[in-house]
Chain A
Amino acid sequence: MAVAVTPSGKDKLLRNMRFYVGAYDLSGDTRVFGDMENAFDPADITGVSEAVFNFLSAGERLVGIRGYQALINDAANKSHARLKDAPNTEVLSVLFGGGGAPAIGDPAYLLSAIQMQDDRGLDGNVNVLSADFIPYAIDYSAYANNPIGHVLHPATSLTATTTTAGVDDAAQSTKGGVGNIHITVSDAGTWAFKIQDSANDADWADLVAFTVDGTAVTSEQVVIAGTVERYLRIVATRTSGIVTPVVTFARAY
């Protein structure tokens, strides 16, 4: 039975989440996300005569995925193969589909992260693998801003040059952002992928081009500075072949 999309947007079910690690979709093996952090610790400034806890934001954002658990799957490119031998550096995107598989404009949580461990254990009778993913140090400054963004392109196969619909982020921002691309399927054809931005959903400028060209399954994160206009979209330009790209983007604030 199809699940209806609610007008309120309260339709982001676990069943419709997708988790991409590098070039691989581990959604089918994923069981639990303990926490996808985006938090500020308080700095206690309570004086002895104050009756209520008084605090300021300490200013450091806490980002990372903790308490991740996957079923151990030793098929090719599944959880065991992709997550063994920690620490691993990975480009990660979590997509929150509403009423079905993730679509353009749905929320996303994105990181470039170190997988800190691959602990093995049993949950009842089931073999599981647990890990935390914390931001990769060289990209940490990007996540001091914001890991929460949108899906610009879900996992759909492309056979021709494609320009997606614009995603409306409501307003221009000025502190840059981060974009992830996961090429999950490639037949070795050649493509070019770029993110464009627009103030009016009609006049578009190239914001950033990915280096990956669709010739192989792979992933990449780009970090940009400066103005990002209100609307965002993807242009995938085909020279040859068929490809499945997943693209997410988060503005820095």
Chain B
Amino acid sequence: MAKTKQKYVAVRGCENDRTKKRYEPGDVVQDGDFPKRTITNWLKTGVLAKITSMPEKVLGNKTKQEEDV
């Protein structure tokens, strides 16, 4: 199974001069859109924030709990 690319949300606007692609704040950036080193640096300086999604199973449980209530 292909590995899912890690996704990030742009906190500040950013752009890649090589691909001429721009990401506005709120846009999703993923591995490969910028070099790994740039993404690592931007996570430290607040340009990007990592998106951590909740697993399906947990969501399912939560939904069930709400229905129970």
Question: Measuring CB to CB, which residues of chain A are less than 8 angstroms from any residue of chain B?
Answer: 194, 196, 199-207, 226-227, 229
Contact = CB atoms under 8 A, between A and B. Distances in A.
Given A205-B12, A205-B47, A206-B12, A199 B41 contact: yes
Interface string B1-39: 000000000001111111000000000000000110110
Contacts of B15: 196, 203-204
A202 B17 contact: yes
B16 A202 contact: yes
A206 B17 contact: no
B61 interface: no
Contacts of B17: 201-204
B38 A199 contact: yes
Nearest to A201: B17
Contact of B14 (A201, A205, A226, A227): A205
Contacts of B13: 194, 205-206
Contacts of A196: 15
Contacts of B37: 199-200
A203 B45 contact: no
A204 B14 contact: yes
Contacts of A200: 35, 37-38
Given A226-B45, A227-B45, A203 B12 contact: no
Contacts of A203: 14-17, 34-35, 38
A206 B13 CA distance: 5
B18 A202 contact: yes
A28 B41 CA distance: 45
20 contacts: A199-B37, A199-B41, A200-B35, A202-B16, A202-B17, A202-B18, A203-B16, A203-B17, A203-B35, A203-B38, A204-B16, A205-B42, A205-B47, A206-B12, A206-B13, A206-B14, A226-B45, A226-B46, A227-B45, A229-B45
Contacts of A199: 37-38, 41
Contacts of B12: 205-207
Contacts of A202: 16-18
A194 B12 CA distance: 12
Nearest to B24: A206
Contacts of B34: 203
Given A204-B14, A205-B13, 18 more contacts: A194-B13, A199-B38, A200-B37, A202-B16, A202-B18, A203-B14, A203-B15, A203-B34, A204-B15, A204-B16, A205-B14, A205-B42, A205-B47, A206-B13, A207-B12, A226-B46, A227-B45, A229-B45
| Most B CB within 10 A of own CB, among A194, A196, A202 | A202
A5 to B, nearest CB: 27
